[in-house]
Amino acid sequence: MKISIFGLGYVGCVGAACLAKLGHTVIGVDVNQKKVRLINEGKPTIIEEGIAELCAEAHAKGLMSATMDVREAVHATDVSFIVVGTPSSKEGHLNLNYIYKVAEQIGAALSDKPANKDGLRHIIAIRSTVLPGTNEKVGEIIAQSSGLVRGKDFTIVSNPEFLREGTSVKDYFNPPLTLVGTDMPEAEAVFREIYKGIEAEFICTDIRVAEMMKYVNNTYHALKIVFGNEVGNICKELNIDSHKVMEIFCKDKQLNISPYYFKPGFAYGGSCLPKDMKALKTLAHDHYVEVPVIEAIGESNELQKRHAVQLIMAQGQRKVGILGLSFKSGTDDLRCSPIVDVVESLLGKGFEIRIYDKNVKVSELTGTNKDFIMAKIPHLQHFVTDDLEAVCRESDVLVVTNKEKEFAELLARYPNKTVVDLVRQWKEVDYEGHYEGLSWGDINTNRTGQETTIAQDFRQTEF
């Protein structure tokens, strides 16, 4: 395939050399004459292990060249990668002027480029790290400068890179996954062909999802480093080998290093997570070790409870039915159940509350379970029932708090309610009423498919 790459810096140079290694014909484009000259001499524009050999090989086979002429590169290729810089301001905003300038130039070059046999003139891929919404803006700029129509004459995909400096060549050929965000099946097929020689899962997704991924990944990597350092600082004060601690931590692939607990939704609860997290925080405090990340965990959890209260209140209805009171489905454990705090807050604001939980029998509560709920809602027996039909019938807003199987048919049985979903009970919905998710947007499909339930709520799993 014939590919042009706009920007011959770190990512662009590595991409050009690696794509040539995969057998594609690559033309690099840059405003820097020195970079163009280096590529045309078979030399890299950066210092990186393995890159010099790849550039020399690509040059010898006639698979890689460079130019400063945008029109020449666009007309000679089928796909253009945009990999120019997106420097950050001190406030954290991105400077996208380079992206927009290249988009304008590509658009101008496309205006007189003939269409291929399928009618599509060009595919543009944004490889630079950009915030969600950039792809759409780039499309508008190209359409304006070319006079062409996105989705008919050209299309734009988001194809973020996951390269680490120092091992970028190895990472390019051995990525954790290949991610492409597009709204055109034709573009997906082209990118499957481009990356055919790379043994990694190919994921095609929504454009804005693809744009978001690099930021989520790198922020989490930063979080892991800081968390590890805070654990290490506590361990040092206790004369514990922190590396042994974290080595064992990482061996748990079922919970610690896994998809468990990574489902956006409601706050955590139960007796173990809150208690043990507070204990570690207190241990650090007792030894005068500052742990701001660990300190922030509890407050962030409380913030999610407040978010739930605000979302319920925003529906503008006073009769609220709570479906599930225990901290997870299949149990009567109310200790630190986050929905209890939500109920307490709503009651204090004058809401009319009805609660359904078949597992919670107020008269049989004992021990710490009873002590906890009596301190929060001493007259709980007036609100809790095991009659699901009555709660749903008499409430205007239904709040789903855990994944009991009996809630799966809720939308079909009560088509005109307002449903607030705190746990993503349904992956997608086709609902006549009003649906609100706590930490996700509109998932209404307007299709006649059945709702899909998620069998287990990983966040609420406790061991």
Residues annotated as catalytic (active site), given as ranges: 272
DSSP secondary structure letters along 214-233 = HHHHHHHHHHHHHHHHHHHH
Please state, in angstroms and rounded to a whole number, the distance separating the CA atoms of residues 389 and 398.
Answer: 12
Please report the sign of the dihedral spanned by the C-alpha atoms of residue 446, residue 447, residue 448, residue 451: negative
Tell me if 393 sits within 8 A of 424, measured CB to CB: no
Other C-beta atoms lying within 10 Å of the C-beta of residue 220: 11
Place of tokens 């498919």: 449
- List the structure tokens of 348: 């204090």
Q: What is the dihedral of CA 324, 329, 334, 337, to 10 degrees?
A: -80
Crossing angle (nearest 10°) for helices 292-313 and 207-237: 140
Place of tokens 């002027």: 97
Closest CA to 344 of 385, 391, 312: 312
Please state, in angstroms and rounded to a whole number, the distance separating the CA atoms of residues 363 and 73.
Answer: 77
Place of tokens 């709570």: 322
- List the structure tokens of 61: 């086979």
The CA angle 372-373-376, to the nearest 5 degrees, is: 95
Closest CA to 373 of 343, 329, 403, 328: 343
Tell me if 322 sits within 8 A of 356, measured CB to CB: yes
Residue type, 56: A
Q: What is the dihedral of CA 45, 46, 47, 51, to 10 degrees?
A: -70
* Residues near 246 by beta carbon (within 8 Å), at least 6 away in sequence: 228, 231, 232
Tell me if 120 sits within 8 A of 147, measured CB to CB: no
| Beta bridge partners of residue 203, listed in sequence order | 179
